[in-house]
A and B are shown apart, each in its own frame.
Chain A
Amino acid sequence: MVDLLAKTACDGLAPLNIGTVCLREGPTVPMTTLAPYRGQQAALDAALQAAHGLGFPPIGGSCQSGDARALWFGRDLGLLMGIEPEATLAQYAALTDQSQGWAVMQLEGQGGEEVLARLCPVDLRLSAFGVGAALRTEARHMQASICRIEEDCFQIMVFRSMARTMYHDLKTAMEAWAARG
């Protein structure tokens, strides 16, 4: 039997510490999109609660329970991260494995908001985008998912194939932000 090695999306991209902000790849976890069928959102919400202790995420938000997190991921779409969904959920929603499809990065430290303000045309001030807020937006020319997972920590996701560009753009913004001080 062959022995295949897995590489993460950000393989070869070193973690960065620039000024007060650091960038690193997020932990490798299962990711599944949850797309409720017609009229099944409430049932899915209840089934999620029963199975994993979290609900279907509200628009622009996320739900968390232990290591599991459900992000709002677009129109009628959630992304379950951190756990494999129970198979019974499939009666309420199309479940699609996306564990390998996205590069997940975490931008942590004071100034993360300022760094992202160089890339994303959305209001990420704490007052408008609190802990747990999640949205889909543009990061430079890439479509991204941004979630504030802690007060000073953002999770940034782009398509796996664009990991290098996202890393480059974040690095440039971090350097420029640090060079102002």
Chain B
Amino acid sequence: MRIAGKGQGADAKTVNFTFNGRHLMGRAGETLAAALLANDIHLVARSFKYHRPRGILTAGSEEPNALVTLGAGPVQDPNQRATTQELYEGLEARSQNCWPSVEHDVMAVNNLAAPFLGAGFYYKTFMWPAAFWEKLYEPMIRRAAGLGALSGLADTDRYEKAYGFCDLLVVGAGPAGVMAALTAGRAGADVLLLEEDSCLGGRLLAEEEEIDGKPAQIWLQEAEAELQQLDNVRIMRRTAVTGAYDHGTYGALERVGHHLPRQHSLKGSQRPRECFWRIAAKHCILAAGAIERPVAFRNNDRPGIMMAGAVRAYLNRWGVAPGERVTLFSNNDDAHRTARDLVAAGVHLAAVIDSRHDAPDSDLYPVLKGAQVCNTSGSKRLESITVRSVRGEERIQSDCLAMSGGWNPSLHLTCHLNARPSWRRELLAFVPQVGAVPGMRAVGACNGSFSTHAALREGAAAADAVLAELGLRVTAAAQLPEAEDQPYRIAPLWAVPGKGRAWLDFQNDVTVKDVTQAADENFRSVEHMKRYTTQGMATDQGKNSNVAALAVLADVTGRSIPETGTTTFRPPFVPVAIGAMGAGAADQGFKPQRFVPSHLVAEERGASQLEVGLWYRAAYFPKPGETNWRQACDREIMSVRQSVGVCDVSTLGKIDIQGPDAAKLLDFVYTNTFSTLKQRRVRYGLMLREDGFVMDDGTCARLGDTHYVMTTTTAAAGEVMAHLEFITQVLHPEWDLRFTSVTENWAQFAIAGPKSRLLLNDLLDQPLAPADWPFMACGAVTVGGIQGRLFRISFSGEEAYELALPASYGDSLFRTLLERAEALGGGAYGMEALNVLRIEKGFVTHAEINGTVTAQDLGMQAMMSQTKDFIGKAMAQRPGLVAPDRMQLVGLKPIGAVQELSAGAHLFDPEAPVERIQDQGYVTSVGFSPLLGHMIALGFLKRGASRIGDEIRLVDHMRGIDALCQVVEPVFFDPEGERMRG
């Protein structure tokens, strides 16, 4: 019910929204909860387990009850708190966890079964039969219990991540935070002021009080105006700090788009829903305030029962009276402010029930001292309360009960690095330990200092201390504004004794009885109790219930509250959408895409792309009339074997090495010798890891006396670079050489086939003199006046060259090469053809160099120099690495009319049973050789080198392949290498 003229947004414009399909009106800027109360809607949701009718309990992010779902389809947002969701034109909200409606929820039948659904019910009931758990029980429980649901569709909303840096992070913009920001900001510190609400003020927004002799709202406006004038102060509204981490870093969630209509404009679609911040702060002032805690009594969960502080917030901030006949139940003086404000606003206050015998009197309303609310009635809204005192029990008609069990400082962040809070007996609350998070100071209510004066004083003092540590001059101590400084008087009251269910954790439906039962069943540790009852394990993480639950546990176990201790507070402080944490990583954003210089040409020719690490490489280039990839692949292979093929090999790692000790590095990193390599020559090299297994292979060219360029495989380029860094920084820092990656600087193309030289002679500015260009030669060339490098190396077994030109010419060069190759009857070839060509020749890739093979396994023991040391040499001599029964590289060809072989298949003796322990080896690479007319394979076979000619059985359980093969030498074509040397 709206109170005319009351509230800070009295002149705000009217906005239309719907709740469960009902068209309603509210004020711009207010929360959905305020608008619902203004429209006299109290039943908002159903509870998690018992499907009890629930209303609005709080006015902040700690809300356990009033969760709603916004939007539908891909942008459906479940579990949005009505108490933080701001109203906007066209907002559509609906209740969740109820069917068919929140008014008539079939699952409310659970409430009748409540006696059976207590703590540990699932654990005890669904133990047997074990197989039923996954199939029956879990789905059943999941359907019955729960909060909002996801749409099941991919989220089309945008999310964002960002990094922030500051001298001082102020968490919370209540009086303490604002005062801290003002003090530090005036002195020139770089301040980041974060406030989870839509406006600055904190509790001041909810209270009627004066600061500096003027209404608190005016003081706030002036302070905000001053902060906005300061360039060194950044204010972030709707931003909650979610976690404190090592070294002064903090996570924070900014709600960027939740309060705005989903526009169908371009801008609207580009606006992120949430932004997840990672903030590095030299200092932090925690001014997070406090959260009022409920009192547990029978049926304390009915719609209409609210926190006393929340009632003040709705009344003072939004001009809404949550009831027509309000009652108040408390154990502390602070809650009496609610009574005073209600009376001042003309709301009928039926009674104040205070559990203390020495509660303050009032002329304005009756105070029942030493009395407790012991029960309530009303089905979908509170109708009456029952009050118990020395006079017995009496019923009072009331549609709204404001309750307060005192305040819990919001110290969560101070515990994120594992510190435990300390108990302050006179406050009946935990407060943060000093130094709990290095660089963080807690001030104001979250430090247990509840008056506005104390908040202002502590905020200013903490800022002064920060400024001193930053070495900034503290400006002449500004006069601290005057403000209320009432003492905080409270007496213990956690749970009202009596029968029936008294709720502690509203969100997870945990009652006093559940905690008692947990203790009875010996779950006496607070951490065990939490897990047994699920108290504090819902989306509110027990903000409202933790302290009361452990107080009840302390009581039933006969221990004090500090002895009982708290559960562990963990990030995030407020729920964070997974979309925000994974912002930018959806779809292709998960990793960068690397494109080769010829990518556009390949795309134009309809090439299918293959992902190789981050790179995209053309798999094959289909021609009209080809209906499957094999046709294209076979054609490309034959063009290389018969005329000339062109392939982009720019992705291979290229490392430029220069300096007097360059050769020393190469001798040390390769198993074979490079210091003897002549200039203008290339050599194939093998690298081992420290442990003696093969790391990578490739070629290395000597361009000058002290200048080499090393080529690595595409897959291991980064690993080799790191390996070289390790050697030169750690093992041999005394060597004088430098190296740098030039992979990206060059577009490099393999030109392979019997007509490759013909093509090149026509293309190069100077034709190749045969004497200068034997196999494994290299040197400078020019193409159209552009300086390039040519290497006569072959990965196909044909006479082949690799031509490198500056990357900017890659596109143009590839087009030219294709044009000329096609004129010679050849053309482009992709990774599929490249793979078959190299299998035909028995050349290895990382399919074979899989981290478990030695040089010997590959048949490359001759490349292990006996005359020098190299990385991995010693470890490669270990008995296990030279054992004669190791698996060795072999070729495999099918016997008979076998259609298919597969990589990943395992090898067995034809007579032996196909069992794991009979495993003789495995297949690493396969391909169809159009030259040979059948499939060929490479693989590793126990004692393979001595089994050439044997029959072996190839079995792939996954693909259902079972084929008899002959073991052959791992080279199927031109074993003498005459074609490539030719």
A residues near B (Cβ < 8 Å) are 1-9, 11-12, 33, 35-38, 76-77, 93-94, 96-102, 117-118, 120-123, 125, 127-128, 140-142, 159-166, 169, 172-173, 175-176, 178-180
CA gap between A162 and B743 in the complex, in Å:
13
Distance in Å: Cβ of B810 to nearest Cβ of chain A = 8
- Shortest distance between the CB of B265 and any CB in chain A (Å): 9
Residues of A within 8 A of B784 (CB): 1-4
A162 and B742: CB pair below 8 A?
no
Counting contact residues on chain B (CB < 8 A from A), the size range is 35 or more
A sample of 19 more A-B contacts (CB under 8 A), given A96-B656, A101-B807, A178-B267, is A1-B784, A2-B763, A4-B783, A4-B813, A5-B809, A6-B812, A11-B811, A93-B738, A96-B658, A97-B745, A98-B744, A98-B745, A99-B745, A122-B163, A140-B584, A160-B745, A160-B807, A161-B615, A179-B271
B658 in contact with A120 (CB, 8 Å): no
Task: Given A6-B809, A127-B190, A162-B594, decide whether A94 and B785 contact each other with a Cβ distance below 8 A.
Answer: no
Binds A, one of B154-162, B503-511, B530-538, B962-970: B154-162
Interface contact B593-A165, CB-CB below 8 Å: yes
Q: Is B825 in contact with chain A by the CB < 8 A criterion?
A: no
Chain B contacts for A128, CB-based, 8 A: 165
Q: Closest chain B residue to A160 by CB distance? A: B744
A140 to B615, alpha carbons, bound, how many Å?
17
Q: Given the complex, which residues of A lie within 8 Å of B593, measured CB to CB?
A: 162, 164-165
A33 touching B163 in the complex, CB below 8 Å, given contacts A101-B807, A162-B593: no
Whether B744 contacts A101 by the Cβ 8 Å rule is: yes
A7, A77, A176: the one contacting B808 at CB < 8 Å is: A7
A33 CA / B741 CA spacing, docked (Å): 10
Residues of B with C-beta under 8 A to A162: 592-594
Residues of chain A within 8 A of B160, CB atoms compared = 118, 173, 176
User: Which residue of chain A lies nearest to B267 when distances are taken between CB atoms in the complex?
Assistant: A179
Docked-complex contact B595 and A161, CB < 8 angstroms? yes
Contacts of B659 in A (CB 8 A): 37, 94
Q: Bound state CA distance, A172 and B810, in angstroms? A: 28
Closest to B709 in A: A96
The answer to whether B256 touches A180, judged by C-beta atoms less than 8 angstroms apart, is yes
Kindly state the separation between the CA atoms of A148 and B190 in the bound complex, as whole angstroms. 20
Is B272 an interface residue, CB under 8 A from the partner?
Answer: yes
Q: Shortest beta-carbon distance, A142 to chain B, in Å? A: 5
Contact assessment for A35 and B738 in the assembled complex, using a CB-CB cutoff below 8 Å = yes
- Identify which of A12, A161, A179 contacts B596 (C-beta below 8 A): A161
Structural contact, A4 and B736, CB atoms closer than 8 A: no
Residues on B facing A (Cβ under 8 Å): 158, 160-165, 190, 256, 267-268, 270-272, 278, 280, 584, 589, 591-596, 600, 615, 656, 658-660, 734, 736-746, 763, 765, 783-786, 805-813, 816
Q: Which residue of A lies closest to B762 (CB)?
A: A2
Whether the Cβ atoms of B738 and A6 lie closer than 8 Å is no
**Please, how many angstroms separate the alpha-carbon atoms of A162 and B593 in the complex?**
6
A-B contact pairs, 6 of them (CB 8 A): A2-B784, A4-B783, A6-B809, A94-B738, A125-B165, A162-B593
Contact B596 A4 (CB under 8 A): no
- Expressed in whole angstroms, the Cα–Cα distance for A123 and B163 within the complex equals 8
Q: Which of B158, B595, B812 contacts A4 (CB 8 A)?
A: B812
- A7–B785 Cα gap in the complex (Å)? 16
Known: A176-B271, A180-B271. A4 touches B744 (CB 8 A): no
> Least Cβ distance of B355 to chain A in Å?
49
B740 pairs with A94, CB closer than 8 A:
yes
B272 and A99 contact, CB distance less than 8 A: no
Distance of B439 from chain A, by nearest CB (Å): 16
Q: Which 8 A-B pairs have the closest CB atoms?
A: A101-B745, A35-B738, A161-B594, A94-B658, A101-B744, A179-B271, A100-B807, A94-B738
A33 to B745: give the CA distance in the assembly, Å: 12
CA distance A142 to B592 in the complex (A): 7
Q: Chain B residue with minimal CB distance to A115?
A: B162
**B190 in contact with A175 (CB, 8 Å):** no
- Residues of A within 8 Å of B785, CB to CB, are 1
Q: Would A7 and B812 be within 8 Å (CB), given that A12-B600, A125-B190, A165-B593 are in contact?
A: yes
Check if A2 sits within 8 Å of B816, measured CB to CB. Answer: yes
Q: Are A98 and B738 in contact (CB under 8 A)?
A: no
Query: Is B738 in contact with A117, judged by CB distance below 8 angstroms?
Result: no
Say whether A6 contacts B808, CB under 8 Å. yes
Q: B272, B591, B600 — which one has the most chain A CB atoms within 10 A of its CB?
A: B272
